A and B are shown apart, each in its own frame.
Chain A
Amino acid sequence: MAGGATIEGSNTTATYEQARTWLLLPAWITLAVLVLTPVLLMLVYSFLTKEFRGGVIWEFSFAAYEQFFCDRGLFGDDPCSMEWTYINIFWRSIWQAGLATLLCLCIGFPTAYFIATRPERVRPMWVFLITIPYWVNLLIRTVSMRFMLREEGPVNNFLTWTHIIDEPIQMINTNFAVQVGLFYSYLPFMVLPIYAAVERYNFTLSEAAADLYATKWVILRRVLIPTVKPGVIAGCILVFVPSLGAFLAPDLLGGAKNFMIGSLIEEQFKGNAGNWPFGAAASMILLSSVLVLLMIYARSQVRPRRVHSEGA
């Protein structure tokens, strides 16, 4: 009953109108304590001076942001030239996360469609089956994926046994393994919102389109996808954002050879570098880029949504 069901003018809204502030208070407090405060703390930290071996000195400094964009050579005294290291790490992570999102979409959309078109009685069972593996801790699932993909693991053994390949393929410690890990970790976040959207889809619309001589491809492209688009976009965001910050899959499946955003930030706080302001600055830059992306999405949604709710 989410999303489109809460159209303005329903009686329930009026009933609780006066209590609104009070009813919203717990949510606001939770948000303020658990989300805003840590983010503000990071914002403040990113403008402080770093302390040797971790920690901060309470002196205002731009050094963290300068380090992100400014390359001063190995000894830190060259004139400033553009620093590509961190931008490349960000770009690599965004590319990786984007690819994982696309992969999840390609597999997740048909899966969600399949579940939503089963008889109503068995749908909860399918959803349940999708979520079962996710009752296990992410770390354990990622380690299991290592076992699956390694040179003498089940996947290679099966492929050699069936003579599809002669020599085991090197899969572990590659970008491919990271992709598989991200895809596997976040697939349900794609399936569930799309399922919720497709389930609410009125299939008589497809029939009407077919009566008007639309082919199956046209129905999918011009009727189904536009209607369930909010679900698809929600799924994409839910997969893309955590993939961007993921460090378990890159560390355990990719061999931690190349920093991803997540591991770069982690290293600043618990690794050898111990540069908290820089870790905070990298987090703020990441947060701002994600926020800009989300705002672009929100803007693009404002008009189409009105048209849809009138049609629904």
Chain B
Amino acid sequence: MKHLTQCTLAVVAALALTLGATTAAQAAGKLSIYHWFEYIPQELLDKFAAQHDVEVVMDTYDSNEAMLATLKAGALGEYDVAVPGDYMVAILIQEGMLDPIADGERKNMGNIKASFASPSYDPGWKHSIPYQGGTTSFAVDTAQYSGDINTTDILFNPPAELRGKINMLDSQGEVLTMAALHLGIPQCSQDRSQLEAVNDLLQNAKQHWASFNSDTAKEVLVSGDVTVGMIYDGFGAKARSEKASLQYAFPKQGWVNWMDNVVLLKDAPNRANAILFMDFLLEPENIAAVTNYARYVDAVKGSEAFRDPDLASQPESNPPAGISGAFIETCDQATQEVYDRIWTAVKK
């Protein structure tokens, strides 16, 4: 009995040592992921865990801002990787919350498609790798509404039959960018009359909105709680697979473009595993598993071979030619404070 206890102690001590040895090149131990909700298939995490003999743990968030807040409130040093959107990568770099990765540390960087060679928010992919890209607009239940859906009037100036039947994403960035597109004004405008116009627009439209919800954006559409719901394209495709009458809109005024990225966080407790995870996600077969699950678009050469054949032709991934979306811009502090006041006024 005594021997057994000693044996156990030795094993535990050895395990603790391995876990503590974060700089070890050999992958053993743990990987902590901070990720969007419903975005990566569990099987893929299991595959990584088996391949590299690590324990994978994941927590989820429902907006870029919520992720930033958690990291700022002391979670830095707890997670290895996170999956921020384009503008949030820029903010995280500015805040010094990412760990730069030296050239050659990641083996699979050559797999990134040429068109994604160097994004403006992280030139040369020094802190991140591309994960999934897509758009944000809204979906409409065409069984309930037969009018033209490809206009932002649906959200901000809805026809009578859609009033009180609209779910908005609980995300300041996306709602205010859509509002700017609707009004045809630049994002982060400092022009007072334009900011007042945004404020008036939202104050007026609010009475027609039923709810603000991000993580139930798909469910409220499928269940019929609402007829119109702001949603991401791939999430909208999933919603359509559960309710065929849902149609994703490409408003003529534009929509929100975004690119999510896997970043290496500062003070990552398992840095080596995080690098392995990035290489893992740059392999065509693995990233295609994410793409098939989340139904967006990835940026890895050769992943098409592993993608579901119907993905390329799904309507949500094929915006009409001639109109385009806009990436969310990061405003300066003074403008952001006005945006915050507008947002609080919407929800007061």
| Binding partners A and B | yes
B91 at the interface (CB under 8 A from A): yes
Tell me whether B91 and A272 are in contact (CB under 8 A): no
Tell me the bound Cα distance from A5 to B342 in angstroms.
56
In the bound assembly, the distance between CA atoms of A272 and B344 in angstroms comes to: 10
Asked if B16 is at the interface (CB within 8 A of a chain A CB), the reply is no
B347 touches A75 (CB 8 A): no
Partner of B213, one of A53, A170, A255: A255
CB-CB contacts below 8 Å: B57-88 with A: 63, 65-66, 68-70, 72-73
Instruction: Kindly list chain B residues whose C-beta atoms are within 8 Å of the C-beta of A271.
Output: 63, 65-66, 69, 172
Chain B's nearest CB lies how many Å from the CB of A112?
Answer: 35
B135: shortest Cβ distance to chain A, in Å? 20
Q: Is the CB of A173 within 8 A of B68?
A: no
Residues of A contacting B209 with CB < 8 Å? Answer: 257
Which chain A residues lie closer than 8 Å to B344 at the CB level?
A: 85, 259, 267, 273
Determine, out of B25-33, B241-249, B333-341, the stretch whose residues face the partner at the interface: B333-341
- CA–CA, A257 and B207, complex, Å: 9
Give 1 or 0 for each of B40-67: 1 = CB within 8 Å of chain A CB: 0000000000000000000000010110
From 284 to 315 in chain B, residues with beta carbon under 8 angstroms from any chain A beta carbon are none
User: CA–CA, A251 to B195, complex, Å?
Assistant: 27
Cross-chain pair count, CB within 8 angstroms: 93
Does B132 touch A at the CB level, under 8 Å?
A: no
Q: In whole angstroms, what is the CA distance A89 to B28 when docked? A: 50
Q: Which residues of B contact A52 (CB under 8 A)?
A: 333, 336
**A255 and B199 form a contact (CB under 8 A):** no
What residues of chain B lie closer than 8 Å to A252, measured between beta carbons? 213, 216
Q: Is the CB of A274 within 8 A of B69?
A: yes
Q: Indicate if the CB atoms of A256 and B212 lie closer than 8 Å.
A: yes
Determine if A179 is an interface residue (Cβ-Cβ < 8 Å). no
Q: CB of B22 within 8 A of chain A?
A: no
Which residue, of B211, B224, B343, has the highest number of chain A Cβ atoms within 10 A? B211
Interface centre among B65, B70, B199 (most CB of A within 10 A): B65
Bound form: Cα–Cα A88–B344 in Å:
13
Q: Given A85-B344, A256-B212, A272-B172 in contact, is the A75-B68 Cβ separation under 8 Å? A: no
A52 to B72, CA, bound (A): 11
- Cα(A151)–Cα(B336), bound, Å: 38
List residues of chain B with CB within 8 A of the CB of A173: 210-211, 225
Given contacts A89-B348, A152-B223, A273-B343, contact A76 B69 (CB under 8 A): no
Question: CB of A270 within 8 A of chain B?
Answer: yes
Q: State which residues 39-87 of A face B: CB under 8 Å.
A: 52-55, 74-76, 85
Q: In whole angstroms, what is the CA distance A160 to B65 when docked? A: 43
| Those of A258-280 within 8 Å (CB) of chain B | 258-259, 267, 269-275
Tell me the complex Cα distance, A255–B346, Å.
Answer: 13
A173 to B63: give the CA distance in the assembly, Å.
Answer: 21
Q: Name the A residues within 8 Å of B211 (CB-CB).
A: 173, 255-257
Q: Is the CB of B348 within 8 A of A151?
A: no
Interface residues of B in 156-208 (CB under 8 A from A): 164, 167, 170-173, 192, 195-196, 199, 206
Give the CA-CA distance A275 to B340 in the complex, in Å: 10
Per the bound structure, the CA–CA distance linking A89 and B348 in Å amounts to 7
Cβ of B24 < 8 Å from any Cβ of A? no
For the complex, what is the distance from the CA of A256 to the CA of B73, rounded to whole Å?
Answer: 24
Does B148 sit within 8 A of A, measured CB to CB? no
A259 engages B225 (CB within 8 Å): no
For the complex, give the distance between the alpha carbons of A53 and B87 in Å: 13
B347–A272 touching, CB < 8 Å: no
B225 near A150: Cβ-Cβ < 8 Å: yes
Residue from B170, B225, B339, B343 within 8 A of A256 (CB atoms): B170
Q: Is B103 an interface residue (CB 8 A)?
A: no
Say yes or no for A105: interface residue by CB 8 A criterion.
Answer: no
- Complex alpha-carbon distance, A27 and B167, angstroms: 47
Q: Could you tell me if A258 and B192 are in contact, using CB atoms closer than 8 angstroms?
A: no
Q: In the complex, which residues of chain A have a beta carbon less than 8 angstroms from the beta carbon of B323? A: none
Q: A75-B192, A258-B347, A258-B348 are in contact. Are A53 and B341 (CB under 8 A)?
A: no
CB–CB B348/A259 < 8 A: yes
B347 touching A256 by the CB < 8 A rule? yes
- A172-B210 Cα distance, complex, nearest whole Å: 9
A259 to B195, CA, bound (A): 22
Distance from B176 Cβ to chain A, minimum over Cβ atoms (Å): 9
Give A273's nearest chain B residue, CB to CB. B340
Known: A270-B70, A271-B66. A257 touches B347 (CB 8 A): yes
Residues of A within 8 A of B170 (CB): 256
A269 touches B345 (CB 8 A): no
Given A172-B225, A256-B211, A269-B73 in contact, is the A274-B68 Cβ separation under 8 Å? yes
Contacts of B341 in A (CB 8 A): 74, 76
Give the CA-CA distance A152 to B141 in the complex, in Å.
Answer: 15
CA distance A244 to B196 in the complex (A): 33
Q: Is the CB of B199 within 8 A of A74?
A: yes
CA distance A85 to B344 in the complex (A): 9
Contacts of A259 in B (CB 8 A): 344, 347-348
Sample of 19 further A-B pairs with CB below 8 A, known A74-B341, A257-B209, A270-B66:
A52-B333, A53-B95, A74-B195, A74-B196, A74-B199, A74-B338, A76-B341, A85-B348, A150-B224, A255-B212, A256-B212, A257-B206, A259-B348, A271-B66, A271-B172, A272-B171, A272-B172, A274-B65, A275-B340
29 contacts between A and B (CB under 8 A): A53-B91, A53-B95, A54-B68, A74-B338, A74-B342, A74-B345, A76-B337, A89-B348, A151-B225, A152-B223, A173-B211, A255-B212, A255-B213, A256-B212, A256-B347, A257-B209, A257-B347, A258-B348, A259-B344, A259-B347, A259-B348, A269-B69, A270-B65, A271-B65, A271-B66, A271-B69, A272-B63, A273-B340, A274-B68
Which 6 A-B pairs give the minimum distances between C-beta atoms? Answer: A255-B211, A272-B172, A270-B69, A256-B212, A54-B72, A85-B348
